[in-house]
Structures are given as structure tokens and as C-alpha cells.
Chain A
Amino acid sequence: QLQLQESGPGLVKPSETLSLTCDVSGGSISPYYWTWIRQPPGKGLEWIGYIYYTGRTKYNPSLRSRVTFSVDTSKNQFSLQLTSVTAADTAVYYCARGGGGVDHWGQGTLVTVSS
């Protein structure tokens, strides 16, 4: 059974970089697309972007200047980096399988941006 698990710091200071990793178990990272989605507390869902197992990416233009995805097929994981964070980046960050629609989700990890 495919499982995804996000990991990373739960607290990030303003102007610093948010880094998260999604570990994929119970299945291979190839040949799939992998997506990051976030949800501010009490609010709706925002698509951040996706990465193909080859490394090809597509980002939300609203975040493109600050976000970078990477994938490590040897470790069966993919990652997100978001630079210059502000309080507006406080959210639960989900990793998921799929490029457009997604069919498997991680449990999500809350990242709070605060000094």
C-alpha cells in the first residue's frame, strides 16, 4: 500500500527557507508525477506544483520565484524548498502522487512561520 510521509521543521523564521521532504514507501517514485499542496489553517487548498520522477517541474506562478522541487529516485523521495517565507506561508503542507489530480496523499505537516 502506497504511503507518503512529509518531514521537516515545524517552525521556520520569517525570511528563511522552508524545506520539506516526502518519503514514498510501498511503491516506486517512478514513473509518476508528485505534487505539493498546502492548506493554511482553517482555509482552502492551494496547488504549489508538481515534479515528474525525471525532475521536470511545474510551479504555481504565484510561488515560482521562491519554490524549488527536487527528486531523489535512489531514496524514493522528493523535496520542496520555499525561500523568503512570511507568515502567509504558514500552512499544512501535503505531498501527493499525481500531476493533475492526485490519488494518494500524505498526512500533511504543519509549518509555522514565526520569529
Chain B
Amino acid sequence: DIVMTQSPDSLAVSLGERATINCKSSQSVFSSSDSKNYLLWYQQKSGQPPSTLIYWASTRESGVPDRFSGNGSATNFTLTITSLQAEDVAVYYCQQYYTTPYTFGQGTKLEIK
């Protein structure tokens, strides 16, 4: 199985500042056949189901604010939230869908400092 490791486990950032979450996969999730990284980011607010933020490592889901961005390739990925808003408090997960079983990172809890 591909192991997904996120860092840090928790993060406190001031309102209006930048938050960066890292995700590392134990093997590449890049497909040379279609030049895509099979990596997703989800946001899960307290008491709610996850919602999809970014797919193909860097494509924002419809309706997601542009302060959310994803970058990276192969085994190293980042989710960046510029200008943190109060409503961004949540747990963030990365997930690889390159090969089954699809696997998730352990989650990063983002709070307001």
C-alpha cells in the first residue's frame, strides 16, 4: 500500500496569514501515461463530512476559493492557504488515487493562532 504522511499534524496560523500543509507519498503517484498526479486534498470541518478541495494535485474543485492552492509532483505535495480565514479551521487530508487501496494521510488540524 502507498503510505501517505502529512506534516505537521497540527498547525496554528493567524488570520490573514499563510498556512502550508505537506503530504508525502511512499511511492510516486504520478502517471507518465497522462502526466497527472493522482493526489487529492480534502477539508473536513468539525462534525461534517469531508469536502473535496483539490484534485490532480493542483486543480481546484468548483466553488473552492482561490486562496486554496495545491502544488507538487510524484511524492511531495503541498496545500497552501493564503490569507487564512476563520472558516478555514478544519482537518485537511491528502489522498492518493493512483493505485488501490486508495490511502489517506493522517490529517492535519488547522487552527487559528
Closest to B91 in A: A44
Task: Tally the A-B contacts, defined by beta carbons under 8 Å.
Answer: 48
Total contacting residues, chain B, CB less than 8 A: 21
How many Å lie between the Cα of A94 and that of B95 in the bound state? 15
Give chain A residues whose Cβ lies under 8 Å from the Cβ of B52.
101-103
B50 within 8 A of A: yes
How many Å lie between the Cα of A47 and that of B42 in the bound state? 14
Total contacting residues, chain A, CB less than 8 A: 19
B30 within 8 A of A: no
B68 within 8 A of A: no
Give chain A residues whose Cβ lies under 8 Å from the Cβ of B65.
none
Shortest Cβ distance from B44 into chain A, in angstroms? 8
Beta-carbon contact of B103 and A47 below 8 Å: yes
How many Å lie between the Cα of A71 and that of B61 in the bound state? 27
Give chain B residues whose Cβ lies under 8 Å from the Cβ of A99.
97
How many Å lie between the Cα of A33 and that of B77 in the bound state? 26
Residues of A within 8 A of B (CB): 44-47, 49, 58, 60-62, 94, 99-103, 105-108
